[in-house]
């Protein structure tokens, strides 16, 4: 009579086989192998291009406005310059000065041309230098005077770097004679909304 294994032995063998298979490692990539991530980092947004600004030559034919006298009196129409000069019927003269630069002041002002302009009245000794910011217009540059210096405080230079304006001008002590200058002041201005505010300044002796 042929030998036949008992049912119990068959079950025991089956369980052993299942346990053996469970202990064997499954086919899988080596954990030490590098994996490729499918998640890509978002590309940085491209920098917004700067608005074009007029050249220093172009502002000599600009329209000039301002919120301070005497520019405020021209209203929204402004004072039209011809070759850097405007002469009014009341003896007012506006003359664009040499210091000029173009740069990005950041904030709501952005890329502009920083010009300087001097106003005076015929047959008087007063001379007032002002800083104006100029942008491109449809047919001519548009300039807005932002602030003025004291009487007979000539501006020597303007530069823009790191979104700040550096203004160098000559002045005098509060008790000094109005006709002379003895201080070279370097002032730093930064954008505050749509205006420029002085952040700091340093003084050095000046001898004409």
Kindly tell me if the per-residue pLDDT of 46 is higher than 90: no
Q: Confirm whether 118 is domain-assigned.
A: yes
Number of domains in the chain: 1
Please say whether the beta carbons of 198 and 187 come within 8 A. yes
Q: Confirm whether 196 is domain-assigned.
A: yes
Q: What is the mean pLDDT of residues 113-127?
A: 96
Domain assignment of residue 68, given as a range: 58-205
Q: Is 134 helix (H, G, I), strand (E, B) or coil?
A: strand
- Counting residues of the chain whose pLDDT is more than 70, the rounded percentage is 77
Segment 152-178, tens digit of pLDDT: 999 999 999 999 999 999 999 988 888
pLDDT given for residue 98 in this prediction: 98
Q: Confirm whether 97 is domain-assigned.
A: yes
Query: For the residues of 17-54, what is the DSSP string, one character each?
Result: HHHHHHHSPPP---TTS-----PPPPPPPPPPPPPP--
pLDDT given for residue 39 in this prediction: 59
Q: Confirm whether 37 is domain-assigned.
A: no
Tell how strand 155-161 and strand 79-80 pair up. Answer: unpaired
Q: Confirm whether 29 is domain-assigned.
A: no
- Counting residues of the chain whose pLDDT is more than 90, the rounded percentage is 71
Kindly tell me if the per-residue pLDDT of 131 is higher than 70: yes
pLDDT given for residue 6 in this prediction: 44
Q: Confirm whether 195 is domain-assigned.
A: yes
Q: Which residues 6+ apart lie within 8 Å of 122 measured at CB?
A: 91, 93
- Burial grade of 19 (CB within 10 A; 0-12, 13-18, 19 or more): exposed
Residue 144 CB: number of other CB atoms within 10 A? 18
Q: Confirm whether 24 is domain-assigned.
A: no
DSSP 208: -
Segment 12-30, tens digit of pLDDT: 444 444 443 445 444 544 5
Q: Confirm whether 13 is domain-assigned.
A: no
């Amino acid at each position: 009579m042929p030998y036949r294994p008992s049912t119990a032995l068959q079950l025991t063998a089956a369980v052993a086989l299942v346990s053996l298979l469970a202990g064997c490692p499954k086919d899988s990539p080596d954990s030490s192998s590098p994996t490729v991530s499918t998640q890509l980092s978002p590309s940085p947004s491209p920098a917004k291009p700067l608005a074009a600004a007029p050249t220093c030559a172009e502002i000599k034919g600009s329209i000039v406005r301002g919120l301070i006298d005497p520019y405020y009196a021209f209203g929204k129409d402004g004072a039209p310059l011809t070759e850097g000069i405007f002469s009014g019927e009341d003896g007012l003269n506006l003359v664009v000065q040499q210091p000029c630069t173009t740069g990005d002041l950041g904030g709501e002002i952005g890329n502009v041309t920083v010009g300087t302009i001097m106003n005076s009245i015929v047959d008087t000794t007063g001379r007032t230098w002002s800083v104006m910011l100029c942008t491109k217009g449809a047919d001519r540059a548009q300039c807005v005077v932002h602030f003025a210096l004291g009487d007979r405080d000539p501006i020597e230079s303007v530069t823009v770097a790191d979104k700040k304006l550096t203004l160098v001008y000559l002045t005098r002590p509060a008790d000094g004679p109005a006709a002379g200058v003895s201080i070279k002041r370097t002032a730093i201005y930064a954008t505050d909304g749509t205006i420029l505010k002085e952040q700091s300044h340093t003084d050095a002796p000046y001898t004409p």
